[in-house]
């Protein structure tokens, strides 16, 4: 089997299919930074595509067989690109090897003596971002790959010169099993991506296999508060450092105080004060994310002061409780939550902030997830004062189930379903008032609704 490692040398020519995606555009710039000649294609003229072009990377609009020329050494594709794509077919016809995006990232991770890979059903982007802040504060000059935009980097990635790489590691399609972590973080394990995994046990097997990819002298950072995580990782044969709110965790928080959207707490490691932390992002879930980042930092030998100042400088990642502006006196925020547990964490955090009303605009993500977790979604969607539902964002799926957001609306008293964004925006214009928090929530394009209102 041909390994991607063989192509990681200056001068090699690579073509990336779906180059505009968050992870793919980051990969393109990292490969370019390593001296490779990179080009690619994408169906949409996104901000990422424009940024790549400004950086000297050629990006073709749309996919066509003629984009694949004889001088290309390898092709990398995103998970959304299938075998019937004309560029993939052309590459195979010419004998050009085709790699998955995660194979490329996995090969890159081998080049670093410290590879910090953050996995979990949710919280990955925030925790990866927190780790980035800490390692930047520690002057480790890390290479970074995040599944979102981090204001500190003004991007979702950076190419560093240090011996550390920080990577968000996704379980979907077992993608993270291509990575080579020296420190593997497991934030939580829940039933999700059930269009790929058979059930929760199948998800747990995947996370266990990820943790076992660490070398014998590596570390696994695990959530002591999450029973499924601890079950998946029992008798692992690796050094496991746990984090959590309970005192049974190796790294835990004491004296937690919430002041508005901020929190302050002491971090205890092995029964001794390690440092105190001030966080400028709301919610108990972010305290847990910070504890995971601290535990990972301890594995990497980061000093307490860098942890303290790194976390103090973190104000959130893009689309993670991101303040968009005001409309008619209401504060408008956007969040990526697309699983019932993420919705719960978001609403728990917002309830502490003292708004007179919570107005939730929710766009479910994928038909399979909405169907599989329907009752759990309904339980959380009953919590806000006002609920406006957009239609399900299909992502990679076709609606073979015959499900709609209208089905959710029917189970939530007072909820309203709007088939189109313009209708939903009109309803929000009538509804929003001073004292409200308006949340646009979901992993699709629902953020555009808040952005359109704020522009007005």
The residue from 29, 168, 190, 228 that is catalytic is 168
* Whether residue 168 lies in the annotated active site: yes
The residue from 87, 102, 121, 124 that is catalytic is 124
The CA angle 164-168-170, to the nearest 5 degrees, is 140
Cβ atoms within 10 Å of 213's Cβ, excluding its own: 21
Contacts of 374 (CB under 8 A, 6+ apart): 403, 407, 408
- Reference 242, options 182, 190, 185, 171; nearest CA is 185
Name the helix (H) or strand (E) containing 346. helix 340-351
140-146 long-range Cβ contacts below 8 angstroms, 24+ apart? 140/164, 140/300, 140/302, 142/166, 143/30, 143/108, 143/112, 145/23, 145/26, 145/27, 145/30, 145/105, 146/22, 146/26, 146/317
The residue from 78, 102, 121, 125 that is catalytic is 125
Largest CA distance in the chain: 63
Contacts of 405 (CB under 8 A, 6+ apart): 362, 363, 364, 370, 389, 390, 391, 392, 417
Query: Taken in order 297, 211, 34, 151, is the CA torsion positive or negative?
Result: negative
Half-sphere exposure for 358 (CA within 13 Å, toward CB): 22
Half-sphere exposure for 123 (CA within 13 Å, toward CB): 28
φ/ψ of 39, rounded to 5, equals -140, 180
Contacts of 377 (CB under 8 A, 6+ apart): 340, 343, 364, 370, 408
Residue written as tokens 């928080």? 253
3-state secondary structure 9-43: CCCCEEEEECCCCHHHHHHHHHHHHCCCEEEEEEC
* Whether residue 423 lies in the annotated active site: no
Half-sphere exposure for 343 (CA within 13 Å, toward CB): 26
* Whether residue 125 lies in the annotated active site: yes
Q: Are 16 and 38 in contact (CB under 8 A)?
A: yes
Please identify every residue annotated as catalytic: 124-125, 168
């Amino acid at each position: 089997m041909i390994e991607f490692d063989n192509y990681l040398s200056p001068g090699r020519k690579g073509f990336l299919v779906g180059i505009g995606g968050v992870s793919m555009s980051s990969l393109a710039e990292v490969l370019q930074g390593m001296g490779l000649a990179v080009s690619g294609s994408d169906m949409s003229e996104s901000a990422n595509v424009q940024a790549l072009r400004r950086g000297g990377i050629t990006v073709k609009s749309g996919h066509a067989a003629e984009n694949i020329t004889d001088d290309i050494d390898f092709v990398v594709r995103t998970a959304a690109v299938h075998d019937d794509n004309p560029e993939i077919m052309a590459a195979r016809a010419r004998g050009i090897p085709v790699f998955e995006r995660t194979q490329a990232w996995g090969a890159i991770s081998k080049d670093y003596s410290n590879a910090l890979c953050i996995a979990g059903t949710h919280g990955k982007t925030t925790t990866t971002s927190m780790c980035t802040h800490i390692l930047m504060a520690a002057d480790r000059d890390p290479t970074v790959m995040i599944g979102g935009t981090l204001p500190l980097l003004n991007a979702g990635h950076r190419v560093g010169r240090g011996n550390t790489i920080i990577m968000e590691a996704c379980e979907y399609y077992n993608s993270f099993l291509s990575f080579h972590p020296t420190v593997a973080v497991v934030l939580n394990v829940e039933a999700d991506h059930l269009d790929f995994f058979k059930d929760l046990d199948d998800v747990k097997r995947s996370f266990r296999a990820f943790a076992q990819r660490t070398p014998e002298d590596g570390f696994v950072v695990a959530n002591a508060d999450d029973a499924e995580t601890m079950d998946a990782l029992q008798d692992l044969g690796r050094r496991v450092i746990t984090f959590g709110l309970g005192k049974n965790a190796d790294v835990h928080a004491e004296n937690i105080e919430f002041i508005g959207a901020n929190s302050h707490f002491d971090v205890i490691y092995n029964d001794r004060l390690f440092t105190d932390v001030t966080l400028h992002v709301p919610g108990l879930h972010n305290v847990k994310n910070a504890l995971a980042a601290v535990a990972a930092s301890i594995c990497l030998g980061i000093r307490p002061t860098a942890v303290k100042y790194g976390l103090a400088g973190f104000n959130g990642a893009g689309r993670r409780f991101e303040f968009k502006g005001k409309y008619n006196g209401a504060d408008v925020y956007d969040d990526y939550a697309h699983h019932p547990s993420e919705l719960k964490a978001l609403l728990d955090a917002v309830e502490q902030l003292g708004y007179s009303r919570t107005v939730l605009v929710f766009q479910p993500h994928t038909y399979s997830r909405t169907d599989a977790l329907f009752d759990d979604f309904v339980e959380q969607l009953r919590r806000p004062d006002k609920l406006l539902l957009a239609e399900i964002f299909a992502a990679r799926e076709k609606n073979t189930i015959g499900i709609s957001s209208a089905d959710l609306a029917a189970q939530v008293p007072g909820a309203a379903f709007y088939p189109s964004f313009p209708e939903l925006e009109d309803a929000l214009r009538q509804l929003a008032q001073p004292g409200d928090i308006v949340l646009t929530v979901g992993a699709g394009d629902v953020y555009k609704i808040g952005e359109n209102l704020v522009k007005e």
